[in-house]
Amino acid sequence: MRPFTWLAPDTTEEAVALLREHGTGARVIAGGQSLLLAMKERTVGPSHLVSLGGITGLARVTTEPDGALVVGAATTYAALTRAALPGWHGVLSDVAGDLADRPVRNRGTIGGALCAADPRFDVPALAVGVDAVLRISGAAGDRTLPAAEFLRGNGITAIGPDEILTAVVLPPLPAWDAVVFEKFRHRVFDAAIVSATCALRRACDGTPAAVRVTVAGATATPVVLDVDAAATAADAADLAAASFHPDATDEPTRYRRELVRTLVRRTVDRAHTQQGSA
């Protein structure tokens, strides 16, 4: 680790001002579970760290009047695990409680996971999977972006150098009737090789009206598949696999393609059989 200056603003506005002031050498730090590891190895060496830890409200989970769930960007995985979230929002607790290891979950944050934009992380995959919206504050004001547009590539996001991700907004409960997340990893604390999310909304008669299937891990950013609401789990699985490097014959790609098939089938299957959230 190289020497740096620690800055602890009290407000988001102050944090944004500090980022502007210190330019490219400044980095935002929340839980530090990606950034600190890189700093220890000296693969990055920021001159200033702007901590989100002291900013009031950034680690809070609240519900909007319309039922949307607003999760502060500095909310830790551990806090999410403990949060009693209703309906399918509870998937966020399940996912946050079943990744990495306990020290990482105690420090790591949902916003940090999104900004790291590691293709194998679960939270970005789930955010795209349920069509979450991200709130961003910057010198030019506040803006929102769908998660799918926020993630631009492996380690690349749409966030500007003097912007801060402040919250992840999950749509209100009626948006989906069932959300299922599945992943495959080697060891219990490893990042996912492939993950799949199925978000399903039912019509009044209980048949699926909309199905959103998202695959992550094997591509630089999560991929949302165009799945017909009436498709069976097997059809959705075949569609997903066919869209994943269909011509590649190398072992790692073949393997990921088979995992995509398996995980999509499992998530769609489970979503079909799951009770609604009402």
What residues line the site for other proteins (CB under 8 A)?
1-2, 42, 184, 186-190, 249, 251-252, 254-255, 258-259, 262, 265-266
For helices 251-273 and 233-242, the axis angle rounded to 10 degrees is 150
Tokens, residue 229: 């609401």
Shortest separation between residue 185's beta carbon and other proteins, angstroms? 10
Query: For strand 26-29 and strand 48-51, is the pairing parallel, antiparallel, or unpaired?
Result: parallel
SS3 per-residue string spanning 9-64: CCCHHHHHHHHHHHHHHEEEECCCCCHHHHHHCCCCCCCEEEECCCCCCCCCEEEC
Instruction: Name the minimum Å distance from CB 246 to other proteins.
Output: 14
Q: Minimal distance in Å, beta carbon 3 to other proteins?
A: 8
- Amino acid sitting at position 139: A
Is the torsion defined by CA of 112, 114, 117, 119 positive or negative?
A: positive
* Nearest of 166, 158, 217 to residue 193 by alpha carbon: 217
Q: How far is the CB of 184 from other proteins (least distance, A)?
A: 5
How many Cα atoms sit within 13 Å of 257 on the Cβ side? 16
| Least spacing, CB of residue 26 vs other proteins, in Å | 21
Report the nearest approach of other proteins to the CB of residue 155 (Å): 16
Nearer to other proteins by Cβ, of 64 and 258: the residue is: 258
Beta-bridge mates of residue 69: 63, 170
Q: For other proteins, give the closer residue by CB, 13 or 101.
A: 101
Kindly tell me which of 1 and 230 has the beta carbon lying closer to other proteins: 1
Give least dist CB 275 to other proteins, A: 25
Which H/E stretch holds residue 256? helix 251-273
Q: How far is the CB of 188 from other proteins (least distance, A)?
A: 5
* Type of residue found at 222: P
Instruction: Please say which residue, 41 or 205, places its beta carbon nearer to other proteins.
Output: 41
**Nearer residue to other proteins within complex by CB, 249 or 275:** 249
Compare residues 142 and 258 and give the one whose CB is closer to other proteins.
258
- Smaller CB distance to other proteins: residue 25 or 86? 25
What's the chain's length in residues?
A: 278
124 CB neighbour count, 10 Å cutoff: 28
CB of 43 or CB of 275, closer to other proteins: 43
Taking the mean position of all CA atoms in its chain, how far away is CA 231? Answer: 26
